[in-house]
Structure formats: structure tokens, C-alpha cells
Structure 1
Amino acid sequence: MMKLQSLVLATATALTMTTAFAVPAGTWSVAAGAHYVDPKSDNGTVSTGLGNFEVDVDGDVRPTISGEYFIANNVGVELLAAIPFHHDITLKAGDTTIDAKTQHLPPTLSVQYHFDGYDLPMNVKPFVGVGVNYTTFFEEKVYIPLAGDYDLELDDSVGVAGHVGLDIPFAPTEYFRIDARYMDIKTDASLNGTDIGEVDISPWVYGVAFVKQF
């Protein structure tokens, strides 16, 4: 959470700074690339009729696309989209292990400040942003041998998202981007309609992309 607060503070500070603006209001940009969702290491504990299980959610990488519209000089509103991420889930209690899986879509809307026009080395263009993430889960499955049919459900999540990145130009309106996002993703889990606890995914999301401005 301290890392997210730092991102928010950096964004607020950037929005109050003055500069020789280089990205005028009305500019559009599109970024196409790939991102790796890296869930936090401790994903919580769920309680079932079979015991209390520690939850471990693995990572996944998928293609992504984002569009950004500059509502003011150097200030843009960005929407991130992706094809569904797939996650294997391990539930462990002592020597007992249960496997599960899910898919999710994490569209994220952010307000961003681009440090464009600061004459930085190699004309690189850092940026910071803060916004909101909405994650919807689907295709949840759980595998419990010899225990009958179980229906696992993960509720949708809404949380704060932070964003930092660096655009490296190789043409006047084309860039190579590296970035990192923090997403506050927590979901209530249920098994056969009974609440079993909260799963805290809250990942860092690392990505690369090709960016084109219009």
C-alpha cells in the first residue's frame, strides 16, 4: 500500500508542475504490447468444510492494448484492455493440496501525467498515473478428487490502480514503452454458494509496448 501511496503522491505533484509542454491537448495515442500479471506472494486463507487453506495464485502474461486521450497539455486519460488472463490457483492445508483456476479481465482507467518537454537524456519521457481497476472473474473451476461437484465463484473487484512508465522515442510520434502498474484486486470467494473468505491478488503488472501518437 505504501508503494501505491507513493505513486498517487507522485501523480499529484506532477499535475501541479509547470513545464514547456510538448504533448498538446487533443492528442491521441495507442499502445499495443504485452503485460505480465504478478500476484502478491500471500493471497490469503479460505475456510471450507475440508479445512483452512492457504491460497497461492500464479502469474500470467497476455497481449494488451491501451488508448490515451490528452485532456490537457501532458495530461492524458488512458484505458487499458487485454485478452483474458489465466491463473492457476493452489489451495494448501498441511499435506492436502487442491487445484483451481480462473480467468479474469482487468480493464483499468487512469489519469496520467507525461514528463514531456523536460529535455531529459535521450529525450526519454517518463509518466505517472493513478486510476481505478475493475476486474471481472469467470470460468472458475476447482478440482477436489472424490468429493463430489463443487462450484467456485470469485466476485468482481474494484480498486485503486497506480501506473509508472517510460517512453523511449525512435521516431517523432513512435515510442517503445516499459511500464509497471499496481492494482488493488481483492475478491470474495464462495464454494457452492457459501462464502469461504477473501482472495487478495493485488498484483504488480509489468509490460512493454509499441506506442503511436496521432
Structure 2
Amino acid sequence: MSNTPSNMLPLGTSAPDFRLKDTNSNYNYSYSDLKGSKATLVMFICNHCPFVHHVLDEALKIANDYRVQGLGVMAISSNDIEKYPQDSPELMTEFAFKNKINFPYLYDESQEVARAFDAACTPDFYLFDAQDKLFYRGQLDDSRPGNNIPLSGNDLRNAIDAVIYNRTMATQQKPSLGCNIKWKTQLI
């Protein structure tokens, strides 16, 4: 297992716009199409990462708890499928069905979206406010595979509550930790 931390994109950064294929529906969506009325959560995940498997149930609970309160939710996979075929769009569809991911699971084939977000790992969480400015980025909570800390989603839940209910948010935000994004080899 890799232990790659988030890059911690500066707070206040505008949400990058994009247009990606949703492996759940085969429709193409932009950030604007999927944003919420009060906040938007963008998760970088993939099918095979043990860190994603560890947090997935709690991340899905959070998505389901807050979507009715104006939270837009989407997940993006940006891994190189030539080297990691288990993350292919077809298997993303199966993974979403098996795990009851009922929001868009987008495929970033060019990896341009991951680069625009400065995403580094899976899972990596980005929360934008109603004006599409980055409000939170980092971890779900302190739980990691094998550290015996129970999943709570506290860090992400506190951030969502703060942005939706106009509460103050602690400026100290911890990076997520997970498997590195599997980048394509760049030929120069």
C-alpha cells in the first residue's frame, strides 16, 4: 500500500470545470451540471485502492446524508488503465453498482482533471462552497486501514456542516492519505 498525502490545493481556489463521461449513465457531465445549491463534493477514488475500500461506506453515507441538503456529489477516477486495467470504465460501472454508488462516477481518461485539482491520491476529497470556491480539502477522518481508529467521517462532515450552515471552519485541515494516482508515462 502506498501512503501518498493530498497536495492541499489552496483554499479559495475556484473549482476547475470539466466535462467527463459518467460510467454509471454513459452521459457526459461538467462540474456545473453536478454542482449542488449549497456545496459540492468532488472525490477522487478508484476501484482497487485499499484506502478507498476502507472509507467507501462512510463516504457514501455522507453523500446520502447531505445531498438532500443541497450537496452535489461526484467521484472521479483518473488512473492509467493501461497499467491498471482494474480501474477501466467498464469495471468502474461494476464497482459503482456493487457498492451502490448512486451519484456520477466519472472517468478522467486524459488525467487533465486530476492535474487541474492537483489531486495526488485516492481517496482525495474536495469541498466547494456555493460560489465554487474551495472550502475544504483533505481527509475523511483519522481512520486508515490497519490503524484501528473507527471510521466517523468527522473531518468531512464538519466541513460540510460549516459550509451548508454558514459556520466557521477550523483552518487546520489534514491531508488525505492513500494510494497515489497512477499517472500515465509522460513522453518528453
TM-score over 0.5 (shorter chain): no
Q: Which protein, 1 or 2, shows the higher relative CO under an 8 Å CA cutoff with sep ≥ 6?
A: 2
| Bigger Rg, which one | 1
More strand by share: 1
What TM bracket, shorter-length normalisation? under 0.3
